[in-house]
Every structure is written in structure tokens, then in C-alpha cells.
Amino acid sequence: MSTKHLLALLNSHIEGDDEQFLSIALQVAAQEARQGRPEEADRLKRLVQKARDQQRSGRPASGQTPIPLARPRGELQGLVETGYPKVSLASMVLSDGVRERLTRVVRQQQERATLRNHGQVPTTHILLVGPPGTGKTMTASALAGELHLPLFTVRLEALFSRFFGETAGKLRLLFDQIAQTRGVYLLDEFDAIGARRGDSNDVGEIRRVLNSVLAFMEEPNSTDSLVLAATNHVEILDEALARRFDEVIEYGLPDQSAARAILERRLGSFRLSARSWPTIQPALDGLSQAELVRAADAVVKDAILEGATKVSSDALGQALQDRQSLKSKFRRQAGH
């Protein structure tokens, strides 16, 4: 680094001009690259990026303030999706039992200070189990929405495939963030940990990942972050792992009245008249919440474009039948 750069750096430091300081650091990085030292240049650029991310998230470079980060930084970028959902539990159609349990989780989180004053901790680690499209992801959004917390989602299968051999290390980064930043964390496709156990190439890696997750589950959760692990296949999860959750919440396909409630909400003002329901009832069986929502959306869109103010029972019945056919086709292909 030249004296000119050093002087400029000192000057920007004295004047407290962070932006100037960082842009001089970038000039030094460019100089390093030109002089055939790409590693030094990269290190500098990464540090500048880190400082900028910290500035943006309002966190001082050296401190560990509990200000939520807008999005994960450094190596976690691209692995974790960040959102600020506005979903509420009231917008979900749930069985009384599941609603009660989720409401209790929210209450414990909201009153965690009171609980801690009495030597208790709120529920934080929850396993969400159920078939696709039954509301596990939506639950994570609703809990984040109710608690006004950011939702960080990480798909474990993607983590495995992208960072073969480094998954445990990447997970550690995530766990460190959970310890520092309060939020709702959704570990989606959690069964990926168990699913690969049969693959002999993966044995060492799987053991490391499993140990890393087990250790994490035992660590004190000082931010009381909610950690939700979602899976369609509880049967392939490691038992030692499943046992470490505070709660296991099971999701299932909706019964007739839940299916109707989901459709009615989704159809909104386009809803069917009460006397049309019996005709579509047989087409509801076996469809997931997500499939019902898709069928409702399809007919509402048609109605809008046709200038209609209501959907017809024929159109809705057909859309539901289409979903049923699609489902049985996939099931046949999967050999069920």
C-alpha cells in the first residue's frame, strides 16, 4: 500500500467518513490485483463488503447488538432466504388442536421475559410434519407475522447438493446466526439429513451434519429464536434428532369442512351459493390445502376475465377434478 493511500485512510478515519475509508480500501484492493496479488485483493474486497453489510443492517462493526439483520451476510448469502411475512394465524384454516398449540407458542414468545424471570424458557424448537401443501411453510410465515420477526428459510436439500463435504460447516454458520439474530428460522426439507444416510459416499458428511445439528439443539438459545424444522417424511428422521424438539406438530389433509373453509376464504366475494356446495363436495376428497387454493385461484381468474361476479359450481367442480387427475397421475408415476 502506498503512503498516499495510507494518508487518505488516516484522513478519512479522523474525519469519521466511513464511505471514503471503504472506497480507499477498494482502491488498494484494485492496486493489489493489478500487482498480481489477487488473494490479497479478494480479502480486502470481502472485508469492505462485510463492513458495508454491517452498516446497512445498522450494526456497529465490532458490537453484537441484537438488531435484526436485513439479510444474512457473508457466506450465508444465497443459502438463506429472508422475508418479513404479513401472514397471521387467523388467515389459516387449522384444526382446533393445532391452532391452540401455535397460539401457545406465540404467547410464550411474546411473554418470554416473564417466563425467563421465573426461570422458564419459551418453546423454540418445533418439528412440523405432514404431507406437501398442508401448511407447514405457511405456519412459519404466520408465526413470523404474529411475532413481527424476520423469517429466514433454508432448504437443507439445496445446502447438501451445493456444498457437498462442507454442509456441516455451512450449518454452523447458520446456527451462529440463530444465536445472534432473533428471528423465525425454517429449516425446510429437514429429512434431507436422514434421507441420505443410505448413500455410502455421504457417510462421513452425514455424521458430521447430524452431530452438528444435535450439538446445536443442545445449545442455549439466548435470542429465543424460533427454529422450525419441516418435513414430509418423519419416518426417515433420526430418532435422536426428532426427540430433541420441544414440540412436534402434525399437519394433515383437510376434512370436508376445512376444505370448504379454505375454498370459501380463497373465493372471497366470488364464492358459491350455499346450495351449490353439495355438488362439489365429492371432488374435495384427498386434495391438500395448497391444491384447493390453486383450484380456487384458477376459477376466480377465469371469472374476472369473463366479467362474472361469482364462480359457477361447474367451473369449480371442474378445476377440482383437474387437480384430482393431476394428483393421481403423479401418484401413478411415483408408483404408489
Ligand X SMILES: Nc1ncnc2c1ncn2[C@@H]1O[C@H](COP(=O)(O)OP(=O)(O)OP(=O)(O)O)[C@@H](O)[C@H]1O
Q: Report the interface residues with ligand X, using CB under 6 A.
A: 92-94, 130, 132-138, 230, 232, 262, 289-290, 293
- Using an 8 Å Cβ cutoff, are 134 and 236 in contact? no
Dihedral sign of CA atoms 221, 46, 55, 159 in order: negative
Q: How far is the CB of 189 from ligand X (least distance, A)?
A: 8
The H or E element spanning position 90 is none
| Residue environment code for 47-80, b if the CB has 16+ CB neighbours within 10 A, otherwise e | ebeeeebbeebebeeeeeeeebbebbbeebeebb
Distance CA 186, CA 33 (A): 40
| Residue 118 CA to its chain's centroid (Å) | 31
- CB of 69 or CB of 159, closer to ligand X: 159
Nearest residue relative to ligand X (C-beta): 135
Q: How far is the CB of 132 from ligand X (least distance, A)?
A: 3
Q: How far is the CB of 227 from ligand X (least distance, A)?
A: 16
- CB of 41 or CB of 87, closer to ligand X: 87
- CB of 9 or CB of 292, closer to ligand X: 292
Q: How far is the CB of 138 from ligand X (least distance, A)?
A: 3
Q: Helices 96-110 and 136-147 sit at what angle, rounded to 10 degrees?
A: 30
| Residue 10 CA to its chain's centroid (Å) | 43
Amino acid identity of 173? L
- Using an 8 Å Cβ cutoff, are 270 and 316 in contact? no
Distance CA 297, CA 69 (A): 34
- CB of 69 or CB of 254, closer to ligand X: 254
Q: How far is the CB of 41 from ligand X (least distance, A)?
A: 41
- CB of 32 or CB of 189, closer to ligand X: 189
- Using an 8 Å Cβ cutoff, are 185 and 178 in contact? yes
Q: How far is the CB of 95 from ligand X (least distance, A)?
A: 9
The grid cell for 186 is: 425454517
- CB of 293 or CB of 308, closer to ligand X: 293
Q: How far is the CB of 294 from ligand X (least distance, A)?
A: 8
- Using an 8 Å Cβ cutoff, are 250 and 129 in contact? yes
- CB of 217 or CB of 249, closer to ligand X: 249
- Using an 8 Å Cβ cutoff, are 258 and 291 in contact? no
